[in-house]
Amino acid sequence: MSGETSGGHQTTAADPRRWRLLTLLGVAQFMLILDVTVVAIALPHIGEDLGLARDTLTWVVSAYTLMFGGLMLLGGRAADLFGSRRIVLTGLVVFVAASLVTGLANGAEMLIGGRIAQGIGAALLSPAALSVVTKTFQGEERNKALGIWSALGGGGAAIGVLLGGVLTAGPGWQWVFYINVPIGVVVLIALSRTLPADQPGPSTARLDFPGALLVTAGTGTAIYALINAGDRGWLSVATLGTLAVAAVLYAGFVALQRVVASPLMDVRILTRRPVAAGTFLILVATALMIAVFFLGSFYLQHLKGYGALRTGLLFLPVALATIVGAQSAAQVIGRTGPRPVALIGLAIAAIGTALPAFWDSSVTVVVGISVAAAGIGASFVAASTTALSQVAHHEAGLASGILSTFHEFGAALGVAAVSSIAAASIAGTSSTGFTRGFTFAAITAAASAVLALFVVPAAKPMANALRHAH
């Protein structure tokens, strides 16, 4: 970890502004994650107000996820080449402006266009912000910082459901987007004064636009296939054909990276065990998180007939559980290493999701997804700590981009899987589909816990990495 132990790094680690910087970047990241779920509860009201069909409403969520996930590697690489400060501020400006446009939308074109622009801003901001956090904190402090970051991710998604209910029932669905504007402007001003000037990449390095185009097209195509798999069928010609196109685009990207003078990424980074294990954990944890939020929200609103505000309030313990799980994991991971944290976190997620699979009631669903959320929060910390523990300074943006890309893959995969499995209950009044959905989530979490034993590095390498970081 030579990139971690340079003298300049030690100076950065001692920066007295680092916790204030983490707070500001955390608020910015919180807005991005919030925007994945905050819209979910507002969708029926948006559709009614603007006269939108069901398939159009799906794109209000998917357009954001598609751009956010598809452009993430480009955002991470841009942070490495042009400096994280510049990319963070640019991404935040784009996101805030797009939020205003989306709130002002009077039709499908403006609404979805605004969501696309929000996704572009998020894809620039998120990996660049995580890169700053990775480079600013070291050793045990890095574990704590990544614990806070992970808690914001999981907690933000749950609070998005709560906030969506409060805003939709109160001032109206437009405020789901408007709320980003004043907060974003304040954070932008504060960050412009707090973010340290960082050293851009070599002047000879250029952003690999053909590579960026290929990987963005590949990621976007794959996420598009997963989003539509529930409606089209997992083994349909359309789904398998779209996934095949994504595979061809990825193969083209890998081939290009071997010959281009300034590649977007060194694809060998994915063969490193910590990075591969971290991406596996973030994929599973995000898929589980989005799956249980989706199932819980639809169960309470569709089957039990609860309103947006009541449903949102019932997600408050889910948000708190996510934060507690992430913070608890951050406290112990430096001593135990990531493997036990990942194993225990995923086992807790399996137990939590199994509860509503066996007992059908509102109380069981809320308790079950809250327990699961605690385990998922811990898994997020294990994922980020594992993937980012041994990357060099100049790779921080790229590694963050990879982690964030798999986060969005997980979100698309989670929604696609459970919406397909629970389709009968979402469309009708039976609880059978929800039971199957929670059963699937429990089995997935349990199987992933077993797999974590083999793929996640043991405690000793992590402990060594932490010692070298000091």
Residues 53-95 pLDDT 10s: 766 777 787 788 778 877 888 888 888 888 889 999 999 999 9
DSSP SS3 for 229: helix
Q: What is the pLDDT of residue 470?
A: 35
Question: Does 455 have pLDDT greater than 80?
Answer: yes
How far separated are the first and last CA of the chain, in Å rounded?
A: 11
The model's pTM is 0.77
Q: What is the pLDDT of residue 461?
A: 40
**In the predicted model, what is the mean pLDDT of the chain?**
82
Rounded to whole angstroms, the maximal C-alpha distance in the chain is: 63
Question: Does 4 have pLDDT greater than 50?
Answer: no
Q: Which of 151-155, 202-206, 229-233, 436-440 has the highest mean pLDDT?
A: 436-440
Q: Give the Cα-Cα-Cα angle 47, 54, 241 (nearest 5 degrees).
A: 145
Higher-pLDDT residue of 140 and 26 is 26
CA-to-CA distance for 62 and 402, rounded, in angstroms? 20
Identify whether the C-beta of residue 405 lies closer than 8 Å to the C-beta of residue 266: no
Q: What is the pLDDT of residue 154?
A: 67
Indicate left, alpha or beta for 233 from its phi (over 0: left) and psi (-120 to 50: alpha): left
Q: Single out the residue of 122, 419, 414, 124 nearest to residue 283, CA to CA.
A: 414
Task: Please state the rounded mean pLDDT for residues 95-119.
Answer: 93
Q: What is the pLDDT of residues 333-362, one digit of tens each?
A: 888 888 999 999 999 999 999 999 998 888
Higher-pLDDT residue of 419 and 64 is 64
Task: Please state the rounded mean pLDDT for residues 252-272.
Answer: 82
Q: What is the pLDDT of residue 466?
A: 38
Interior/surface letters 23-56, b for 16+ CB within 10 angstroms, e for the rest: ebbbbbbbbbbbbbbbbbbbbebbbeebebeeee
Q: What is the pLDDT of residues 213-226, one digit of tens each?
A: 888 888 878 878 87
Q: What is the pLDDT of residue 191?
A: 93
Question: Does 449 have pLDDT greater than 80?
Answer: yes
